[in-house]
Amino acid sequence: MKLRLGIMGADDSLDIIRSVVNDYAEIECLPIVYWTEEEIFDLLEPHVGQADMWLFSGQVPYSMVKEWGRIKTPMAYVPHIGASLYRTLLHISHEKSITVSELSFDTFSSDEFSRLLEEAGLSTSRIWLKSYAGAIHASELADYHETLWREGKTKAAVTCLRTAQMELERRGVPVYRVLPTRAGVEAVLSMLLRTYEMLQFKDTQIAVQMMEIDSFKGLTSGTFSTDELYNLEIKSTEKLLRYAKQLQGSLKIAGPGRYVIFTTRGILRDFTRDFVAAPRLEELSGIQDEMVTCGIGIGKTAYEAEIHAGTALLHAKESGPGSWMVFFDDKRIAGPLGKSEQITFSGASGQLQEISRQTSLSVQTLSKLQSILKKRGSAEINAHELAMHMQIMPRSARRILIELETKGIATVVGEESPHPRGRPRKVYRIEL
């Protein structure tokens, strides 16, 4: 299967990238040219889901799109490596006899630029360099270069950004462009192909869904017989067989009301929108969503995936009926899928295991707590907030906080009164 690679860049750099990509029979190219930073998102919008990976011609468009957040597939950009700069400097020196100290530069970090000059045997007492992290507007770079040129400190500008080059040309400032090299493009393409192969392998990993169906929710009256329950079980099995067929998986019965479906990670990823949403079983097979509690397990072997699915099911049952959790092969646990308050935590941590030994709390509970605090961006929380995030009763959340306070891991730092007549809520600062 070919890698569908979306490529976005300025006209000149895109030509170089495409000329290299054409040598790779395993890559199918989707090129997009942009002329201003303002049009990047509008140009990308219609093609968001059309590529397996995206490659950008430089740091600026890559950083903008990464912050945009709409692209969920792997992304990379072609860095301006030493050979790119050396080629430009050789041209300037040969054609214009301008020294490094008479030029202004951008994009490179100070340490990187100094190292490049040292490797090239170029020494200078003064460097005019505009470094930046992430994205930057072309006009800001143009202002920097133009100011130095008009003050007579430089004779020309050297920029890595095509839009900055065009803006400087419009202002009448002598400017030279640092273009990516074929070697630089080939290095990034090699990395993307290895990543794609790895993802293809991951998509074929075994995935197991362990499901519990509450047949009582399917009863229409308050009285029932065992025959009616048995009939509901048969109907549920038939519906799950239809669902398993859509997953290209196989269904096994694991006891009354419990079923196991074996499929692959890639298929489940598509059905759960990258393990964020729970599949709509009512639409897919006619089973009421609230009847099913499910744990998804990913593993390197069928046995490992099944063990992970069982653990995920236990966490799903803690979250309440109709919940879905997933246990990945790297020991991360995520969910409940489809809920507004989702958390991802690790099942293994030496530090948390030590805290677990000091307290009556499990590593899983501590991992959830750690994930919640990280997600909130604060070490402070009250019992009501903790209960909401962990989907447990407030008294259970208070027990957790009191246990941590007793062992010196949590400290009361204040109180909140959300209601005039309500009891104040203690705010705890937690140091895991």
Axis crossing angle, helix 11-21 with helix 162-171, rounded to the nearest 10: 150
**0.75 surpassed by pTM:** no
Q: What is the CATH number of domain 3-77+185-200?
A: 3.40.50.2300
Per-residue model confidence as pLDDT tens digits over 279-328? 888 888 888 888 899 999 998 888 889 999 998 999 898 888 889 999 99
Whether 77 contacts 59, CB under 8 Å: yes
Domains 3-77+185-200 and 82-179 share a fold: yes
Q: How confident is the model at residue 72 (pLDDT cuts 50, 70, 90)?
A: confident
Cis peptide before 424 (omega within 30 of 0): no
Smallest CA-to-CA distance from 334 within 319, 321, 350 is with 319
Per-residue model confidence as pLDDT tens digits over 214-253? 866 655 556 666 777 777 778 888 888 999 999 999 999 8
Residue 428, C-beta contacts closer than 8 angstroms, at least 6 positions apart: 380, 381, 382, 401, 404, 405, 410, 411, 412, 413
| 419 has pLDDT over 70 | no
Give the pLDDT confidence score for residue 414 in this predicted structure.
86
Smallest CA-to-CA distance from 238 within 278, 285, 271, 295 is with 285
CATH number for domain 82-179, candidates 1.10.10.10, 3.30.200.20, 3.40.50.300, 1.20.1250.20 = 3.40.50.300
CATH number for domain 204-339, candidates 3.90.230.10, 3.30.70.270, 2.40.240.20, 3.10.105.10 = 3.30.70.270
Give the pLDDT confidence score for residue 50 in this predicted structure.
92
Pairing of strands 250-253, 258-264: antiparallel
Would you list the domain boundaries of the chain? 3-77+185-200, 82-179, 204-339, 352-430
Q: Which residue has the higher pLDDT, 275 or 347?
A: 275
CATH 1.10.10.10 fits 352-430, yes or no: yes
Q: How far apart are the C-alpha atoms of 244 and 231, rounded to whole Å?
A: 20
